[in-house]
């Protein structure tokens, strides 16, 4: 995959001209974001509870089932038969949102809980092939 060695700021006014020099990166994009492809799946974020860690409504989540969860990881779990994306508070047995608007969720013995994977990356889709657009418009 060829890329332009360019760091773009939010105030960008243009890209390099057509003759800009490209460099080659060693890995394909799928290897960069899904090194454990056989144990990885993609989900779509819904809601606003994870905006504090940069995950917004409609973002794609790269979820690795082979990665062992650690304290503070962003994870996907099945909680009472609903998929949730939360920060893992392993020590206290809680799931935390990344927004003060949502309280922590205590995991109890009577809850139906299963760990599904660690969110290793997220991708913001502004305009996809199916016409999916940013929610800002």
Catalytic residue among 9, 46, 86, 91: 86
Distance CA 58, CA 132 (A): 9
Distance CA 136, CA 127 (A): 12
Distance CA 72, CA 64 (A): 15
Distance CA 109, CA 23 (A): 53
Q: Are 61 and 43 in contact (CB under 8 A)?
A: yes
What are 89-95's contacts with CB under 8 Å, separation 24+?
A: none
Catalytic residue among 49, 114, 133, 137: 49
Nearest of 121, 32, 116, 112 to residue 66 by alpha carbon = 116
Which position has the token pair 């939360």?
Answer: 86
Is-catalytic flag, 7?
Answer: no
Is-catalytic flag, 91?
Answer: no
Q: Which residues are catalytic?
A: 49, 86
């Amino acid at each position: 995959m060829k890329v332009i060695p360019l760091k773009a700021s939010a105030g960008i006014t243009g890209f390099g001209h057509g003759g800009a020099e490209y460099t080659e990166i060693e890995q394909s994009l799928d290897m960069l974001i899904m090194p454990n492809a056989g144990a990885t799946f993609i989900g779509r974020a819904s809601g606003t509870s994870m905006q504090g860690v940069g995950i917004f409504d409609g973002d794609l989540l790269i979820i690795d089932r082979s990665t062992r969860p650690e304290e503070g990881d962003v994870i996907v779990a099945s909680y009472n038969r609903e998929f949730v994306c939360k920060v893992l508070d392993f020590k206290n047995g809680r799931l935390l949102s990344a927004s003060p608007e949502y309280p922590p969720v205590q995991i109890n013995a009577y809850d139906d809980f299963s760990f599904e994977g660690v969110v290793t990356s997220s991708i913001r889709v502004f305009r996809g092939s199916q016409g999916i657009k940013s929610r800002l418009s």
